[in-house]
Structure 1
Amino acid sequence: MTSLSDDLEQMLKTLIPAWRPHSLGVTKISGGMTNENFWVQVAEEAFFVRLGSEGAEQLGIDRDVEYVSTVTAGELGVAPLVRYYLRDQRILITNYVVGRTLSSNDLAQPRRMAQVVELLQKIHHTTPKVKSFSVFHVIRHYWELVRNTPLIDRQAMEAALTIAQRVEACLPVQPSALCHNDLLAANFVLDSKDDRMWLVDWEYAGLGTPYFDLGNFASNQQLLPPQEETLARLYFKESDVQPHVAAIRLMRVMSDLREALWGSVQRLVSQLDFDFEQYARRHFYRVQKAVQSAAVEQALQILE
């Protein structure tokens, strides 16, 4: 019986002629919530190999969009360079970055937050030919997939959807730009050679509002209100950032709502060994707290 690493090595040698003369070192990387990831050593070069999961289209993932977005980010120096795209096999291969994955505590520090803002501003000034991303469309799509499951309380969900409608109606319009849309701490890697920050995992990327990237980042790092204001000041460089802070706080709630529904969909379709039910419940608890808070109503009143 062959191992997954052996099978992957043989498949990659078949698909990539330049790798055939070499013995490949294949190491599985733990932690992925959608795909299977590997570090592959080929002679003196190291590669990151991502095997895309089946059923990703139900999550709104378009592998061609991911490829174009990753190429664009690589050309901007934001992401590792793409080396191979094996479309039929759902395999994307980039340079492997030797470094450490950053934590939410790391990213909440002003110095690291400034590095994050620099990366985001680079991608937010480009518009590759990829499809659009709207968190509001994603929320409605996910809800249609899971509305008949018992995981999410329907009454609480209706309250959250009402807030989502208000946010969608009042959110300030920004020029559409390339957005990452999945700014987990695990997607930021600090290069061990030069302290450079890289942003990886572009499978949810698309053209959308930068406010969602900012709110998504704030949610995933659980930023405190003063840290949200710091993020807004670093990004917008304006004296009055209160409207921007309001938008970030509202999109933070939309991010948690997206994640709660994403976890509910993954619970139905994913084969990975991960507790998606607990993930969904944790994010929906955040949504419920936010919907009932004065801060969300105040943010809405600033923008409405």
Structure 2
Amino acid sequence: MSSRLTDEQLDTLFDQIGLLAGRPRAVQYLSGGLTNRNVKITTPDGVYVARCVDTGRNLLGIDRDREHYNSVAAERAGVGARVLDYRPDLGVLLLSYIDGKTLENSDFQREGVIAKVADACRTLHRGPRFRGRFDMFERQPAYLATITEHGFRIPPDYLDHAHAFAAAARVLTATDDTTVPCNNDLLAGNFIEDGDRMWLIDYEYAGNNDPCFELGNIWSECGLSLDQLDELVTAYYGRPSRRKTARAHLQGIVAKYGWTLWGCIQYGSSAIEFDFWEWAMERYEAAVAEFRNPHFPRLLDAVAAED
């Protein structure tokens, strides 16, 4: 999707969707969405969000049918928006609009927010199983293959840290094979706070995964401190666990290293106006700092240790 659709293009698109066809509409582009355009649609009958995607090129391994299935499962779990229509031919997933506060990283400093986030994650993870799985140790080499095929730019020393990434893979896969339905992309903007309730949105990368990846990715993407990660893990499991906190910490580092390549693919291919290279380097430099930290071997040991 090279640019925002014009009003005329949106009218043509939405007139093909039953709930919207022939209805007076007010449309507004929503912020966020680095692989799609999110449009708020207000009609006399209701308020909706249309997730509009390019039905052509897909270099990021996003399965839109799976996104739809998992969005329905998240709705059934009680933390996802209602799914109202799915038109893969048009590249549109139509959802109910959630009227609440979209979080920013600074909101995680507010009292009670981390507890709400933990509760929402636990609710999702106890809900219906998702279709497919998400494993960064599978996703990262797939991204690397795409980059190699298309000649996209990556940090020149990226592969110098492959051994540390492999060491993380060995300890994580050897110590626990639990998987639950995870969103896998819970940056701050994918939380919507509605009073005491927290909604989770955007299931493009959803799949069954280690719950500690979800928690570690939140730490990584939302700017949490390690003390806040421990608070999140404690709230999620209902008790302190050094081993689970270490596991979530390591999965967060894994996420940073893997998502770096996502940013590199977007930098090389996306027409969306956004500095994907800066986004990628922010995660890469943070991952490298963790890999080089003298405490990294101890972190690997802590994942395998008993509480």
Would the TM-score normalized by the shorter structure come out above 0.5? yes
Structure 1's 262 and 100: CA in aligned 2 closer, same or farther, altered over 3 A?
same
Q: What residue in structure 2 maps to residue 117 of structure 1?
A: 118
2:189 to 178, 186, 189: 186
Deviation per residue, 1:208-237 (Å, 9 max, x gap): 111110110010122212112111211122
Match of 2:273 in 1: 273
Please list every run of 5 or more consecutive structure 1 residues that lacks an aligned counterpart in the other structure.
none
Q: Deviations over 1:151-188 (max 9, x none)?
A: 312xx322322112111111131422111000100111
Conserved in 2, the CA contact under 8 Å of 1:160 and 1:287?
Answer: no
- 1:144 corresponding residue in structure 2: 145
Distance 2:66 2:139 in 1: 16
Residues 36 and 53 of structure 1 are in contact (CA less than 8 Å); yes or no, is this contact kept in structure 2? no
Instruction: State the identity as a percent.
Output: 26
AA aligned to 1:112 is: V
Amino acid at match of 2:34: M
- 2:282 aligns to what? 282
Once the two structures are TM-superposed, the CA of residue 55 in structure 1 deviates from its matched residue by 5.5
Determine the C-alpha separation between the residues in 1 that align with 2:196 and 2:186: 19
Task: Please tell me the residue identity of whatever aligns with 2:301.
Answer: Q
Aligned-pair distance for 1:127? 4.5
Q: 2: CA distance between counterparts of 1:110 and 1:59? A: 36
Structure 2 unaligned residues grouped into runs of 5+: none
- Secondary structure class of the residue paired with 1:41: strand
**In the alignment, which residue of structure 2 is the partner of 1:98?**
99
Q: What's the CA shift for 1:110?
A: 5.1
Q: 2:9 aligns with which of 2, 7, 10?
A: 7
Q: Within 1, Cα distance between the matches of 2:56 and 2:111? A: 38
Contact 1:127 1:176 in 2 (8 A): no
Displacement of 1:66 in angstroms is: 0.7
CA drift at 1:124: 1.4
Q: How does 1:123-134 map to 2 (within 5 A)?
A: 123-128=124-129, 130-134=131-135
Contact 2:76 2:128 in 1 (8 A): no
Structure 2 Cα separation of the partners of residues 150 and 37 of structure 1: 28
- Contact 2:262–2:280 (Cα < 8 Å) also in 1: yes
Q: Distance in 1 between matches of 2:186 and 2:32?
A: 15
What are the within-5 Å matches in structure 2 for residues 14-53 of structure 1? 14-16=16-18, 18-53=19-54
Deviates more, 1:23-32 or 1:58-67: 23-32
RMSD of aligned alpha carbons: 1.8
Normalising by structure 1, what TM-score? 0.91
Judge conservation of contact 1:108–1:221 (CA < 8 Å) in 2. no
Give 2:300's aligned residue: 300
Where 1:15 maps in the other structure, the secondary structure is coil
Counterpart AA for 1:189 = I
Q: Mapping of 1:215-294 within 5 angstroms? A: 215-239=216-240, 241-294=241-294
Distance 1:280 1:66, change over 3 A: same
Q: After TM superposition, where is structure 1 displaced by more than 6 Å over at least 4 residues in a row?
A: none
Please say if residues 76 and 127 of structure 2, whose CA atoms lie closer than 8 Å, have aligned partners that are also in contact.
no
1:276 CA displacement: 0.8
Alpha-carbon deviation of 1:53? 3.0
Q: Post-superposition shift, 1:58?
A: 2.0
Counterparts of 2:74 and 2:16, CA distance in 1: 28
Mapped to 2, the partners of 1:200 and 1:30 lie a distance apart of: 13
Q: Could you say if the C-alpha distance between residues 211 and 129 of structure 1 is closer, same or farther in structure 2, counting changes exceeding 3 Å?
A: closer
